[in-house]
């Protein structure tokens, strides 16, 4: 069975006709009828595009089959619309920086605590020594710990 070229009418070799070609290998027929493969860019989530090289009919068939569609990564969970309830109003809070800026001790108490701490005394020893030497300042062990834990002013 001989098939003729649709462009020039010459006979097409049997092997070429079996592959589905309807035109011959003459340069004029090749230029007029040859269609090369199509390069299609498929967008991929969080990645670079994936490129597919195929004939236009194959690309169209694969796209129609859903091969290039976005994949469901919800793992069977469907989004559920729930009515939004506004959060209850709360009174505005004072900034934390404003509270931290005002220590609960006086500069005199801080001076005595830091002086005794520089001498190598523990907070308990600082409280005992301050009770003996400066009882009017009212330095306790807890106050000594808070002063020593705070940054220097």
Q: What is the per-residue DSSP string for 63-113? A: HHTTTTSPP--STTPPP------PPPP-PPPPPHHHHHHS-SS-HHHHHHH
Q: What is the pLDDT of residue 127?
A: 94
Tell which wins on pLDDT, 114 or 61. Answer: 114
Instruction: Calculate ∠ Cα 65-59-37, nearest 5°.
Output: 165
Mean pLDDT of the chain: 82
The verdict on residue 23 lying in a domain is yes
Confidence of residue 20 (pLDDT cuts 50, 70, 90): confident
pLDDT in tens, 50-59: 777 777 778 7
Asked if the structure places residue 78 within a domain, the reply is no
- Could you tell me if 18 and 55 lie in one domain? no
The residue segments making up the domain with residue 47 are 36-68
Residue 12 main-chain phi, psi, to 5 deg: -95, 135
Decide if 116 is inside a domain: yes
Q: 87 lies in a domain?
A: no
At residue 142, the pLDDT reads 93
What is the tally of structural domains in the chain? Answer: 3
Whether residue 11 is contained in a domain is answered as: yes
**pLDDT above 60: residue 100:** no
Would 15 be classed as within a structural domain? yes
pLDDT of residue 41: 77
43 and 58, same domain (yes or no): yes
| 46 shares its domain with 63 | yes
Between CA 101 and CA 130 the distance in angstroms is 25
Residue 29 sits in the same domain as residue 44: no
Give the mean model confidence (pLDDT) for residues 68-94.
69
């Amino acid at each position: 069975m001989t098939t003729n070229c649709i462009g020039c009418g010459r006979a097409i070799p049997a092997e070429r006709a079996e592959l589905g070609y309807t035109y011959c290998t003459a340069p004029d027929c090749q230029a007029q009828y040859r269609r090369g493969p199509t390069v299609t860019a498929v967008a991929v989530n969080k990645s670079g595009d994936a490129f597919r090289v195929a004939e236009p009919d194959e690309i169209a068939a694969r796209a129609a089959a859903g091969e290039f569609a976005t994949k469901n990564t919800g793992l069977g969970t469907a989004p559920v619309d729930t009515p939004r309830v506004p959060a209850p109003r709360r009174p505005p809070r004072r900034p934390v920086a404003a509270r931290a800026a005002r220590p609960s001790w006086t500069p005199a108490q801080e001076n005595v605590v830091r002086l005794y701490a520089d001498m190598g005394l523990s907070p308990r020893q600082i409280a005992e020594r301050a009770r003996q030497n400066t009882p009017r300042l009212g330095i306790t062990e807890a106050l000594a710990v808070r002063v020593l834990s705070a940054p220097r002013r």
